[in-house]
Copies of this chain bind each other. A is one copy, B any other.
């Protein structure tokens, strides 16, 4: 497979982990988001939304949106499953994933940060208050749910890695990048540390991709 991504994209990180866990060989083309590669005509032909990731499986049309890609991989490469079998457990794993992928991550992507700074004239530090509010709201929801709902195990849903974990860790690594306090979220932290200890996650880590800063 061939993926268009970027070292710091939380959505590309989720897909890299799934590909690694399922043992699918892939190459990643790293777009330079700061240089605006995602808005250039060549890439807009691949994804008119101008967003990564975009995944090619053979010569089919590009697959976009990280959660849709995760479900596609689940349906076409079910060997190592990243969703539980039982429908309520699946629904819980998906719901936790969407707390991140729908209600948190889209609030701090570059185009939102740019709009806040350019349209409202907010200096970067004040713009970051919006971003930090998104992070803490998402982390608080995850912590409350993971620490009180009986479905939580070694990972978000039971003892196997699921889509919920891929999303959790994609948010967690952002706390370092954006200097978000993590002490109030011990359950999220415990699961994040379990995940970071997995080779499939470690190899997919943003800081281990081309273009990433040294630390």
Count contacts on A: residues with CB < 8 A to the other chain. 48
Contacts of A95 in B (CB 8 A): 63-65, 68
The answer to whether B94 touches A65 (Cβ under 8 A) is: yes
A residues 58-104 in Cβ contact with B at 8 Å = 60-61, 63-65, 67-69, 71-72, 75-76, 87-88, 90-92, 94-95, 97-99, 101-103
> A24-49 toward B: CB 8 Å interface, digit per residue (1/0)?
00000000000000000000000011
Contacts of A63 in B (CB 8 A): 88, 91, 95
A215 an interface residue at 8 Å Cβ cutoff? no
The answer to whether B49 touches A103 (Cβ under 8 A) is: yes
Given the interface pairs A68-B95, A102-B65, the reply to whether A49 lies near B107 with Cβ below 8 Å is no
The answer to whether B107 touches A112 (Cβ under 8 A) is: yes
Contacts of A120 in B (CB 8 A): 120, 122, 126, 130
Contacts of A67 in B (CB 8 A): 67, 94, 98, 102
Contacts of A94 in B (CB 8 A): 65, 67-68, 71-72
Partner of A71, one of B64, B91, B99, B106: B91
Contacts of A90 in B (CB 8 A): 71-72, 75
A111 an interface residue at 8 Å Cβ cutoff? yes
Binds B, one of A14-22, A144-152, A178-186, A197-205: A144-152
**Assembled-state Cα–Cα distance A106/B100 (Å):** 11
A129 an interface residue at 8 Å Cβ cutoff? yes
Partner of A87, one of B49, B75, B103: B75
Can you report 27 A-B residue pairs in the complex whose CB atoms are below 8 A from each other? Answer: A48-B141, A48-B144, A49-B103, A51-B103, A61-B88, A61-B149, A63-B88, A65-B98, A65-B102, A67-B67, A67-B98, A67-B102, A68-B91, A68-B94, A68-B95, A68-B98, A72-B87, A72-B91, A76-B87, A98-B102, A102-B105, A102-B106, A103-B106, A115-B130, A120-B120, A120-B126, A120-B130
